[in-house]
Each structure stands twice: as structure tokens, then as C-alpha cells.
Chains A and B, each alone.
Chain A
Amino acid sequence: MAEVTFWQAIRDALRDEMLRDEKVFVMGEDVGIYGGAYGATRDLWEEFGSERVRDTAISEAAIAGAAVGAAMCGYRPVAEIMYMDFLTIAMDQFVNQGGKNRYMFGGKTTVPMVLRTQGGAGRCIAAQHSQSLEAWFVHAPGVFVVSPSNPYDAKGLLKASIRDDNPVRFFEHKMIYGMKGEVPEEDYVVPLGRANVTHEGDDVTIVIYSMMANLALEAAGILEQDGISAEVIDLRSLKPLDVDTILRSVRKTGRVLLASEGCENNNAVTEVAMRINEHGFDYLDAPMKRICAADVPIPMSPTLEDACIPTAPRIAEAAKELVG
């Protein structure tokens, strides 16, 4: 296995899928010669040319909607929206035209597209370039929501997303593009809807995803020093949600901390808590707890941005309070 960075894993998945299936193509702002704002399409334009690696105008609604249309007509577009914050502009097309499509038309259409996007805080780029809006998409019927935390999952999940016949919103956190990890060169997929237990433990379950999943591993290390054994569940897909894996862990630990970088109010993990409540209430030894971003537009100033977002020590602290 080779050590590759997160951005390379994304790029390699795109490349493999374009080589495997001529119906796959890439479009978005600055995905061509620039190689994507965070480098995830680097060298693809040189290899595949501007027909299959298409630079678009700054037209998010048309990017998402054109992906829907091309997908309905037999292609497998992978559209990139440069920042998750701009998904708000693409939202109508993706959610209303894409996500509802199959159902509205009596199950006769498919929309096999991926909307890749990048988000999250950590670079001091303020309220319109730092958000984590997955809750908005989890809410929408007909779309899947995927959020890898490391290079291996990124490559396997992106391949699975491209091959899936549903519209998938694929989220990459801006702070992990440089992260390195072991990634096989041969073909593999990480199936959608399967969570990953990344750290085993008995005292508390930390349910988490994306960049925060890496912080949870750090937090588990901190907790270990205090004699607390944490189990970390990296959700990988927020929809479909792997309820079984979560319940198996809750049965063991009886305590649940849910964490996310989205705003607290109506966060995507609130849904996870409700599933646990519905199907695993008897396993719980204490009320569940959550740690999310503050309910504020993300501030630019480093002191405020830091105060706004969960960190590894704060995740550990919250878990500690839960174990009591």
C-alpha cells in the first residue's frame, strides 16, 4: 500500500472512475488547469482534457442542475462546488430537481451524480467559507450524505458514491487535504451506509464524522490517560446511517457523546441521538450529550473561531463529564 494524501486519494478515485467508465466526467469552478481550489483535481485536466474535466463559470445553480440533467440522460457527473457555503446557491437544483426526481416521476428516473464539496472551519476565513452544512442535506429526501475523515475512506467512499445510482453529496473537510494515510492502489470501495469503529473502548461511545473523527482519536488518547476507555465511531455516511454499528457500541458502553462541527441547533447528529433513543434507550445509563459548533456565523478572528469549534481537549472533557 502507498502513503498518499487526502487530496491525492480524491484525485485518484476520480481518475480511476474516469478510466473505468467513460460516462464519468468532472465539472466545476477551477477544476481544470488550476486543479481545484484545494488541489483535488490536480493533473486530471492534463490527462483527460477540457471536455471531461470542465471548468465552469461561477454558476453554482447551473453546475448542480446541469449535473442532474446529464445524470438523467445517462452520464455520471461529478460536480464540484468549491465551498460548502456555496451549496446554498446550488441547493434548489440538487434538492428539488435532483433529490426528489426519482420519487416524483414514479420511480422511473435515476440521478447518478456526485456533488463534491469542501467545508469546515480552521483557516480563519469567516462566516461564508467555513461552514458545515450537512444537516441541511440530511434533511432532504432522496439524497445521500457522505463525509470521509481520512485518505483510505475518501478514495473508497468516492468510488462507491460515483457508482451509486442516487445523488450523493460528498463532503471533504478543508483541514484534511494534506493528511496522509495508507491507500491501496488496486480497486476497492467503502460501501455507503457503513460506519467504522476507529477506536475500541468500553466506557463511552463517541459518535462523530469527518475531520472531527480524527480529533476524537486524539480525545480517546487524552481520556486513556484518565483511565477512561472511549469507543470512537466514525459515521462516514450520515445518510444512509449505520444504526446497527452505533447500537452495538451503545449496548456495550451505555454512554453516548455525539460530536459535529456543524452548528448545534438541529445538527445532523441530533438525528443519530433520536435513533438511539428509539432503538437503544434501554442500553443508556445516562442522558446523551452533544458537542457542536456554537450557533453563530463562524467568526474570522482566530480567538473567536477557536472558541466556536469543538477541539480534541473539549471533546475529551465532554466525554469525561458524561462518564462522571
Chain B
Amino acid sequence: MARATKKAKRSRKKTAAKTPAARALKREEKVHFLHQMMQIRAFEDKVFELLARDVLKGASHVYAGQEAIAVGACSVIEPTDYITSTHRGHGHCLARGGELDRMLAELCGKATGYCKGRGGSMHIADTSAGNLGATGIVGGNIPVATGAGLACKFNGRNQVVLCFFGDGASNNGTFHESLNMAGAWQLPVVYICENNLYGMSVSTDVACSVKDIATRGVAYGMPGEIADGMKVLEVREAVARAVARAREGGGPTLLECKAYRYRGHSRSDPRKYRTREEEDHWHSRDPIEQFSNLLVKTRAMTRKQVADLHVQVELEIAAAEKFALEESEYPDPSELHDDVYVGWKKGPMGLEKV
């Protein structure tokens, strides 16, 4: 392990200088953030439409309202870093470089999807792009991110892990056990709690012992910070600080991003547990509106350019829909037993070596 540590020190010096926290953004980068947020929103609108028409099977938890968090956070890290995602993972997948067409194909259970159609919405991830996966188990990936952080610490390549999860997940044992472990071992993980005020119908007021989830950091020996999850640049700044700290050997951070889930938890959710006034309030702080207004105000973009970008995204979504629904096939049932094990497969007498 001694060698790895020495190597870590060396490479730390190299990358610390170019941590994005210290770097001003180019115009194209800002436009790219807006583009990604618009893509996520349009993707989720399409998903909701396809669910309503019963074209899309299964359950999809949509990310509308929280776009600034995935986009702002993922903008900070390098391709060699890792993220872990959640049951609400479309936004994370896209912000980590996922393509709309293969994402939609996955949701439709098509063989061209990122997981060959086996995972669907809840397991969507391009695992070749440093995304360790989305999970249907709330809180299920917090320990996995912690283990990835341990691997990063071992291998000395100065990588970091961004671990996304919800407010509800922060009440599961996995959260508490993982943060304690990461705090004790000083792992390079940024725990990003997307507090959208509810876990399904249960509000944080009812479910949580504390008002701000960030305060839980104290219990595990790590800084707990709060960012406005409706502001992409604010999320980016906060994550950049935490990432810089992690790369410098300063250990984990708990970052709470306050945002709102626009849609119901699932298609059939009548949203009886929250008021229309509350929804209106959060819609008035829309992350895409706020950021495009900022870009216009600072003359990074004109209104016309923003409108054109919307049109472009609509075309991209239409192409993805065509790819997923018309140009992609379902997996062949003969593949049912593929990939369960490495090197073994079901035969007539049980598992056999292949």
C-alpha cells in the first residue's frame, strides 16, 4: 500500500492545480450545461407521455425539476472518476455522457439500450462512462459508492466518487453506515443528497429527525454543506469545492442540494400530500428558466439562441424516439440466461462451464 500512497501524493499535486473550482467557465461550457438540462427535461416529458400512452412499460421515476444537480455536479469531474445513481437516474445517466437514443431504448426494454433492455428505467446507466449504476433499492448505492471511494484511495490515481441519493435514502441504515465508514477512512467521496422534500408521499418533516440533512455530516466527521439545487452554477461550485478537498486527501463531504420533484412519484400518484401552491412556488424557481435568464442577462446567449436550442432538443428527442420505438428490437428470449455468471451458464443439469 505504501507505493500506492506515494503515487497518490504525486498525482495529487498534478491535478489539484486544474480543479474546476478555480477555473472560470467558457461560454460553450455554459451553453452545454443549458443544453443538457433541456435534454433531461425534454426526455422526461417524453417518458411521461409514453407512459401515459402505455407505450412504455414498467415504472419510471422522472428527474424533472432536479436537472441542475446532475448537470452541475457531473460537470466538475473527469471521465476517470465515478458516480453512483438512484431509482431516479435518467438525469445522472445523461449528465455523465449518456445518449438520448440508447437511454430511451433502455427504458423501452430494447436490446439497443445501455443494459440490453434488462434493466429499464430503474437500472439505467452507461457503465462504460464511469457510472456504477442506478438502483431500484433506495439507499442501495451509498455503500457501493463508498467501496468505489476505497478503490480510489487504494489505487492512487486521485479519482473521486460522486454518490447521488435522495432525502428519503438518508434515513436508511445504508446511509449512516456508509458515511461513518467514509469518515473513518477519509474516502474521496462526495455524498450528494438531492433533497426534493419528499420520499414518495412522506415529507422530510415527518420522516427525518433533522431539518437539514447536511447537519448529519457532523455525526460522521465530515463537512455538511447546503446548496440551492435549482441553480446549476451553485451546485457546480459546491461540488467543485468538495471534489478539490477529496482529491487533496481531505476526505468525504455531505452536500445537500435543495430541489423539487415536479411530477408525481409515479404516473398514478395524485400528489395528495402536497399543495398546488407549494408546487407553483418551486416551478417559479425553475432551474432551466433561471439559468437561461442568467445566460441572456450576462450576454452569453440571446433569447433567440435559447429558443433555437429548445427546438434542437425537440428534434433530438424525436430522433431518440424513432430509434427506440421503430428502429430497435426487443432482446431475443434465447438470451434469458446470458450474463448471470462469468464463465458459467445454465445447462440441462445445472450450471456448466462455458
Taking Cβ atoms with an 8 Å cutoff, the residues of A that contact B are: 29-30, 32-34, 37, 55-62, 85-86, 89, 123-129, 294-297, 299-304, 306-308
18 further A-B pairs in the complex, CB-CB below 8 A; given A34-B201, A299-B118: A34-B269, A56-B207, A58-B199, A86-B137, A89-B172, A123-B57, A123-B58, A124-B109, A125-B58, A126-B122, A295-B340, A300-B123, A301-B330, A302-B57, A302-B330, A303-B333, A304-B330, A308-B336
Once A57-B168, A57-B208 are accepted as A-B contacts, the answer to whether A128 and B122 lie under 8 Å apart by CB is yes
**Chain A binding surface SS class:** loop
Q: Cβ of A296: which chain B residues have Cβ within 8 Å of it?
A: 336-337, 340
A301 touches B331 (CB 8 A): yes
Across the interface, name the chain A residue whose C-beta is closest to B123: A126
Query: Within the complex, what minimum Cβ distance (angstroms) separates B269 from chain A?
Result: 8
Docked pose: A307 CA to B119 CA in angstroms: 15
Residues B87-136 near A (CB distance < 8 A): 109-111, 116-123, 135-136
Q: Cβ of A129: which chain B residues have Cβ within 8 Å of it?
A: 59, 122, 136
Once A30-B202, A33-B272 are accepted as A-B contacts, the answer to whether A57 and B171 lie under 8 Å apart by CB is yes
Query: Within the complex, what minimum Cβ distance (angstroms) separates B277 from chain A?
Result: 17
A30 touches B120 (CB 8 A): no
Once A85-B136, A124-B120 are accepted as A-B contacts, the answer to whether A304 and B199 lie under 8 Å apart by CB is no
Question: Is B169 among interface residues, defined by CB-CB distance under 8 A?
Answer: yes
B120 touches A59 (CB 8 A): no
**CB < 8 Å: which of A29, A124, A295, A303 contacts B331?**
A303
Q: Cβ of A59: which chain B residues have Cβ within 8 Å of it?
A: 171-173
Query: Within the complex, what minimum Cβ distance (angstroms) separates B299 from chain A?
Result: 45
A58 touches B120 (CB 8 A): no
Query: Within the complex, what minimum Cβ distance (angstroms) separates A61 from chain B?
Result: 5
Taking Cβ atoms with an 8 Å cutoff, the residues of B that contact A are: 57-59, 109-111, 116-123, 135-140, 168-169, 171-173, 199-202, 206-208, 269, 272-273, 330-333, 335-337, 340, 346
Query: Within the complex, what minimum Cβ distance (angstroms) separates B264 from chain A?
Result: 11
Across the interface, name the chain A residue whose C-beta is closest to B339: A296
B138 touches A58 (CB 8 A): yes
Docked pose: A19 CA to B274 CA in angstroms: 29
Docked pose: A308 CA to B137 CA in angstroms: 21
B200 touches A126 (CB 8 A): no
Once A33-B201, A294-B337 are accepted as A-B contacts, the answer to whether A127 and B119 lie under 8 Å apart by CB is yes
Q: Cβ of A126: which chain B residues have Cβ within 8 Å of it?
A: 58, 118-120, 122-123, 136
A294 touches B336 (CB 8 A): yes
B333 touches A304 (CB 8 A): yes
Q: Cβ of A299: which chain B residues have Cβ within 8 Å of it?
A: 109, 117-118, 331, 336
Query: Within the complex, what minimum Cβ distance (angstroms) separates B163 from chain A?
Result: 16
Docked pose: A125 CA to B122 CA in angstroms: 8
Docked pose: A60 CA to B138 CA in angstroms: 10
Docked pose: A85 CA to B116 CA in angstroms: 22
Q: Cβ of B57: which chain A residues have Cβ within 8 Å of it?
A: 123-124, 300, 302
Once A58-B207, A294-B337 are accepted as A-B contacts, the answer to whether A304 and B331 lie under 8 Å apart by CB is yes
**CB < 8 Å: which of B173, B200, B333, B336 contacts A29?**
B200
B336 touches A304 (CB 8 A): yes
B333 touches A58 (CB 8 A): no
A297 touches B59 (CB 8 A): no
A128 touches B135 (CB 8 A): yes
6 shortest A-B CB distances, which residue pairs?
Answer: A300-B120, A301-B109, A128-B136, A57-B171, A34-B201, A301-B117
Once A34-B201, A301-B330, A304-B333 are accepted as A-B contacts, the answer to whether A128 and B137 lie under 8 Å apart by CB is yes
